[in-house]
Amino acid sequence: MNTVLQMIYDNYTGTDRELLVRAYHFAEQAHSGQKRASGEAYFIHPCAVAQILIELGLDSATVAAAFLHDVIEDTPVTEDDIRREFGEEILRLVAGVTKLDKIVFKSREEEEAENFRKIFVAMAKDIRVIIIKLADRLHNMRSLNFLSKERQIKMAQETLDIYTPLAGRLGISQIKCELEDLCLKYLEPEAFEFLVENIHQKLEERNKFVASVVKEIKEILDESHIEGEVFGRPKHFYSIYKKMKTQNKTLDQIYDLTAVRVIVGTVDECYEVFGKIHKKWKPIPGRIKDYIATPKANMYQSLHTTVVTNFGQPFEIQIRTFEMHRIAEFGIAAHWKYKEKKSEDTSFTERLSWIREVLDWEGGLKDSKEFMESLKTELYSNELLVFTPKGKVISLPKDATPIDFAYAIHSEIGNRCTGARVNGKIVPLNSVLQTGDVVEIITSSASKGPSWDWLKIVKSSSARAKIKQFFKREMKDENIKLGKSMLEGEAKRRGYALSDILTEQSFAKVSEKFSFSNQDEMFASVGYGAVTVNQVLFKLIDFYKKEVPKQPVYRGGEGPADSSGVIVKGMGGLLTRFAGCCNPVPGDEIVGFVSRGRGVVIHRADCPNVKNLEQEQGRILPASWSDGASSGRFVAGIVIKAKDQGVALSVLTSVVSDMRLMITSVNSRFDKNKDAVIEANIRLNGKQDIDLLIKKIDADERIDEVYRTATGS
């Protein structure tokens, strides 16, 4: 206890020192006569918590609250007493810690879930509450040996599930690593003892090796005129244990038991040293990580590389600046530890952003257990770790599939993927992977590439980009045809001919926006969905309107009776139009319906709406097509169903192109069985065209079903 007083005098001055001495003596008096499970004076505990926070460099208010964090719950002291003696800020911190442990629950599961819900609510109010709680948990774990075995296991598991990843997300590696080792000690005592004993036996040999590496790296710094520090740091037991389990290795197969750290002044020096180390020792492929360019969620930054000595022994090197090092060691606490040296800690706000995100959705969750599941996901950075059959760890986003895994290995593995085994069993490609799964991808050289459906399945942006890249590269001709047809159809629907509005000048305007090198690239981009039809068409039409007066364009299916190609028995001179519900085309059996004030509407004879109008006596009239009716342009709708969206689109565009028809619009979706459904409207001459189109598409064995719809456009 005298030690903590000495630390106060060594680290604080003036009113800060006076505050902490008062808090120390106030708590000492309040806990007088109380004992811990170990038989020691209870006051040892708040002193130990305060000492941990002083070592982390926390401000005086936080350390004072650490001295006082149990007085409201375990002594006669009230909140009013704390407010009167120490003020509102310290009361808020003490009350925040106290409330985390105060409520009574119906079940253990509910208790655990609600406890962690309250933790995050407290974090939103003042992050220092959680830092105190982490220090409190660390000291309790240090003295866990005085509790029953059942309570040891319960507390250790709770700590491993929540408190260690929480410390990690806050970047406080000192607390995280010690907590993990203590958890291992109580949850896997045999493994812990094995590691302690065997690592200690090789300690002298390992220290000699590390010393030689440190010496050589210092020589590199000296030769480069770079000032810095180089030292070895043993990896903590839990990280070694986890590597042995996840990679299925023995301790003898784990070579990098000690990481060598290189601390230099600037980011440029980090990369300079990084390059020179790789010149001296050969790096292991796949073991190089640049957390400087892409920091971790807790703002950790460093260059990591594993290299092999000339004697074949691998070891890990971490290179960072002094600023990065203090953040790596102290995490969020570095905001207070060094705040007098900086006017603003730019990482502080970024560190807290994920906590605010948690609280944004916290209020909308219906119960604590639902919050708990979401919280665990958030704590682990929405990442899952899966393994190749050889033990390589692959990091993927939450809910990732075997397809995501395949593309994470290599683009070609993804493109040739035909199936997957997870933990030795064949699974569908849309299966959701879990952390710890061992995934093997089945490939085939005969594979024609990915399916369009995969874009709806994958979760990683990397996989999605690689799939789109494949379609852009491998299906260029099909995409050009499809994109051009879609633009022609939509232009026609709006009363324009694409050949009129697409000129060198108008294309140049579109290229200014989308950087197309030629018209085929524009058509292909529309075809595979990089840009929409309307994004391109609006630019073309806008330019056309400004440069050329709009001329009236005939729209198929609209016009007076004498130009519609339809003869209605007993009627002449009336306006006729085609029904949008069934879109008849020449060759269909048709009837006319006399509408009130809108002339005669022409329906297909088998149109369901005609059946409903049969009771309207005298208003349904026989109708037929006149000679030459097929010289107009009509629209019919079709539906194509297939397992593969890409195949369906490819077959459609190929047949339409061969028949010299035009796609006016196309829409794709997936049904409840996740089969592809393509709905397309085709401009054609008549029933002969639509029948032949359906026949040609249906002839492809990859198509499950194709039929004409009742509607078109």
Separation between Cα atoms, residue 670 and residue 668, nearest integer Å: 7
Burial of 253 (0-12, 13-18, 19+ CB in 10 A): exposed
Dihedral of alpha carbons 284, 285, 291, 293, sign? positive
How many whole angstroms separate alpha carbon 212 and alpha carbon 207?
9
Which residues are catalytically annotated?
73-74
As given in the structure block, the two tokens for residue 242 are: 């986890």
DSSP labels, 41-91: BTTHHHHHHHHHHHHHT--HHHHHHHHHTTHHHHSS--HHHHHHHH-HHHH
| DSSP labels, 200-240 | HHTHHHHHHHHHHHHHHHHHHHHHTT--EEEEEEEPPHHHH
Rounded Cα gap, residues 664 and 26, in angstroms = 82
SS3 category, 146: helix
Contact partners, residue 59, CB within 8 Å, separation at least 6: 16, 128, 336
| Residue located via tokens 């494949």 | 470
Tell me how far CA of residue 407 lies from CA of 210, 367, 403, 420, 576, in angstroms: 37, 37, 6, 13, 57
Residue 82 burial (C-beta neighbours within 10 Å; 0-12, 13-18, 19+)? buried
Residue type for position 669:
R
Please, what's the b/e burial string for 394-422 (b: 16 or more CB within 10 A of its CB; e: otherwise)? Answer: bebbeebbbbbbbbbeebeebbbbeebeb
Q: Burial letters for 528-567: b for 16+ Cβ neighbours within 10 Å, e otherwise?
A: bbbbebeebbebbbebbeeeeeeeeeeebbebebeebbbb
Mention every residue, 6+ apart, whose C-beta is less than 8 A from residue 213: 232, 260, 309, 315
Amino acid, single-letter form, for residue 446: A
Question: Would you call 588 helix, strand, or coil by DSSP?
Answer: strand
Contact 350, 299 (CB under 8 A): yes
Q: How far is CA 596 from CA 235, 558, 568, in A?
A: 87, 18, 16
